[in-house]
A and B are shown apart, each in its own frame.
Chain A
Amino acid sequence: MAASLTRFLERSQRTTHAALSSVRLFSNSNQQQPQPEVEDDEEFRVLNLRPVKQQFQRRRDIKRDDVTPPRTTRMAVDQDWTAAWPGPRSFHPASVPLPLRQGFTERGAAAPSKFANAELMKIPNFLHLTPPAIRQQCEAIKKFCTPWPKGLETNAKWRSHFPLEVITTDYCQSLPTVRNPEARRVTVSLKLSDLKFDDHARDKFLRLVGERYNKETDVLTFVTDRCPLRKQNYDYALYLLTACYHESFITEPWEATKSETDMEVYLFERNQAKRSTEAILNWNAAENAQKKSPSASYAQSVEQLINEGENEYNLAKYKEEVMKMLNVPTQ
């Protein structure tokens, strides 16, 4: 404390002395001029126990490169946009010369501009798929295209040549792998009218395929997904179709034991009605005379009457056929 006091006094004395000497400068400058400055420098040096901020104020100026202005300022009006934005890319405000704004603001304020706007970077953009770009790409891949085959102009034409319809699904996904287990599913469908059957084979085929056949649309559909790969499933579906088709033409020995109660529809050929009609038609006929058999239209009317049930039309048809067969004149 005492030391600092004395120092303070000393300093104040010296300053007054300096002031005095400076006043005297004009009168006799030759002797006195260098004197006070030397005295000013000879101050007690202060021991800085604590570093004062002043010491660290010397800072190196970091040389920074100038930030280039946005590219949009240098863009020509008729530039080739497909060259400026060739592929899919997040939005960049300095590359898109559009005064875009996005974002919600309250009280009618302007929406945030395109600069430093993360919302514009988030949304997927289609700046690389402008109509000229699509046109360019189509032109580029045109040389790989082949003309549409002749003779397949209409739907009906190619349907008759290619009756089998195969449906598979490809999955586009944002994963490191391109595999998707769902892609193994194969659907093979065709119209049943494209296959050739006899009565027995058709009946047996429909029993084999079960509910894979849609009666309303006459479409047969095989869906296979039991194998891990699509190719295997496709092969399996075609195998199923082929196996069912050929199996339906085989008549097993036990199929002959099918009795009348097993029949799902009434057939005139194998019923009592046929035998009775033949008996009536061949009444009192000679032994070696040719046997008469009922007409096909009569057989059809009987089958219709029993299979579809009795209604006005079926009954009228049956009556007409019976009278025709028995040669009863109509009034």
Chain B
Amino acid sequence: MNFLKKLAPQMALAESQLHKSAALHTSAVCCRVQSGRYRITTKRNRPLTYEMANPPHFIGHRKSWNSWNTSTLKDSQRPSQTAIEDLFIRKFITGTWHALVCSEIIIKRQHNTIRVASIIRQGISPRKMYFLIGYTEELLSYWMQCPVTLELQTVADKKDVVFKYI
């Protein structure tokens, strides 16, 4: 991952500063309460997808994981690298398919293959879509050094993925 090498000196600097100041993390545990949850609006017009409508503690009950790999199992290899790569894939795809991605990016890894699934809005012509698929697959497979497959589903409108309004 070449783009990580650029970050390395900055991260080392940040780490040294962190060690100088304090080694203990003392902020309040708000993130556990607030992350992945959405506030109800007064007009009740905030659209939520099924994924957003279910808070994180329903993962494994009402909704499923967005990353499927073996790195998070006990004693398996490269858990951190896999997480960073997944983050990078998500950022790259939401940026490349700008304002077209209607759902979460689902990343499934099988052996050395990465399969990326997502729901895309039919905002651009099929020709451009085919180009973007090839472009994304080519660049990602070059960076990840393994075959990447895009498995997209398209919807006509953004409202098709809305599960409810709060």
Q: Which residues of A pack against B, CB within 8 Å?
A: 64-65, 67, 88-90, 92-94, 103-104, 112, 115-119, 121-124, 172-178, 180, 182
- Chain B window 137-166, contacts with chain A (Cβ cutoff 8 Å), 1 for yes, 0 for no: 000000011100001011110001101000
Q: Is the CB of B49 within 8 A of A118?
A: yes
Of the listed stretches B3-11, B25-33, B65-73, chain A binds B65-73
Given the interface pairs A64-B125, A116-B155, the reply to whether A121 lies near B54 with Cβ below 8 Å is no
Q: Is the CB of B106 within 8 A of A121?
A: yes
| Residue B90 CB within 8 A of the other chain | no
Q: Is the CB of A175 within 8 A of B153?
A: no
A188 to B76, CA, bound (A): 25
Instruction: Contacts A115-B155, A174-B110, A175-B111 known; list 9 others, CB within 8 Å.
Output: A116-B103, A116-B160, A119-B64, A121-B153, A124-B108, A173-B76, A175-B109, A176-B112, A178-B112
Closest 10 CB pairs of A and B: A174-B109, A90-B151, A90-B117, A104-B62, A122-B64, A174-B69, A118-B103, A116-B160, A121-B117, A173-B70
Q: Is the CB of A67 within 8 A of B54?
A: no
Complex interface: chain B residues within 8 A of A116 (CB)? 102-103, 119, 153, 155, 160-161
A104 to B59, CA, bound (A): 12
Complex interface: chain B residues within 8 A of A112 (CB)? 50, 163
Q: Is the CB of A92 within 8 A of B156?
A: no
Q: Is the CB of B76 within 8 A of A92?
A: no
Complex interface: chain A residues within 8 A of B71 (CB)? 173-175
A186 to B70, CA, bound (A): 23
Q: Is the CB of A122 within 8 A of B106?
A: yes
List the A residue with the shortest CB-CB distance to B61: A104
Kindly provide the distance from the CB of B69 to the nearest chain A CB, expressed in whole angstroms.
4
Given the interface pairs A67-B122, A174-B111, the reply to whether A119 lies near B63 with Cβ below 8 Å is yes
A182 to B64, CA, bound (A): 29
Q: Is the CB of A174 within 8 A of B70?
A: yes
Complex interface: chain A residues within 8 A of B111 (CB)? 172-175, 178
Q: Is the CB of B78 within 8 A of A175?
A: yes
The residue among B50, B126, B163 with the most chain A CB atoms within 10 A of its own CB is B50
Given the interface pairs A90-B117, A121-B151, A173-B76, the reply to whether A103 lies near B65 with Cβ below 8 Å is no
**The residue from A89, A104, A115, A175 contacting B54, defined by CB atoms under 8 A apart:** A104
Complex interface: chain B residues within 8 A of A175 (CB)? 69-71, 77-78, 82, 109, 111-112
A93 to B63, CA, bound (A): 18
Q: Is the CB of A89 within 8 A of B151?
A: yes
Residues of chain B in range 94-127 having any CB-CB distance to chain A below 8 Å: 102-104, 106, 108-112, 115, 117-119, 122, 125-126
A260 to B119, CA, bound (A): 84
Q: Is the CB of B145 within 8 A of A176?
A: yes
Q: Is the CB of A118 within 8 A of B151?
A: no
Kindly provide the distance from the CB of A177 to the nearest chain B CB, expressed in whole angstroms.
8
List the A residue with the shortest CB-CB distance to B50: A103
A173 to B77, CA, bound (A): 9
**The residue from B50, B68, B125 contacting A118, defined by CB atoms under 8 A apart:** B50
A104 to B50, CA, bound (A): 9
Q: Is the CB of A176 within 8 A of B146?
A: yes
Kindly provide the distance from the CB of B11 to the nearest chain A CB, expressed in whole angstroms.
23
Complex interface: chain A residues within 8 A of B15 (CB)? none
Given the interface pairs A104-B62, A122-B65, A174-B71, the reply to whether A180 lies near B77 with Cβ below 8 Å is yes
A180 to B76, CA, bound (A): 9
A94 to B66, CA, bound (A): 22
List the B residue with the shortest CB-CB distance to A180: B77
Complex interface: chain A residues within 8 A of B82 (CB)? 175
**The residue from B64, B70, B108, B125 contacting A65, defined by CB atoms under 8 A apart:** B125
Complex interface: chain B residues within 8 A of A173 (CB)? 70-71, 76-77, 111
The residue among B49, B58, B64, B156 with the most chain A CB atoms within 10 A of its own CB is B64
List the A residue with the shortest CB-CB distance to B103: A118
Kindly provide the distance from the CB of B82 to the nearest chain A CB, expressed in whole angstroms.
8
Kindly provide the distance from the CB of A174 to the nearest chain B CB, expressed in whole angstroms.
3
Given the interface pairs A116-B161, A176-B112, the reply to whether A93 lies near B153 with Cβ below 8 Å is yes
Q: Is the CB of B119 within 8 A of A118?
A: yes
Q: Is the CB of B160 within 8 A of A115?
A: yes
The residue among B65, B70, B117, B144 with the most chain A CB atoms within 10 A of its own CB is B117
Residue pairs across A and B with Cβ atoms less than 8 A apart, 9 shown, are A65-B126, A92-B151, A115-B160, A116-B103, A118-B161, A121-B151, A173-B76, A176-B144, A177-B77
Complex interface: chain A residues within 8 A of B117 (CB)? 90, 121-122
A172 to B153, CA, bound (A): 29
**The residue from B54, B58, B115 contacting A90, defined by CB atoms under 8 A apart:** B115
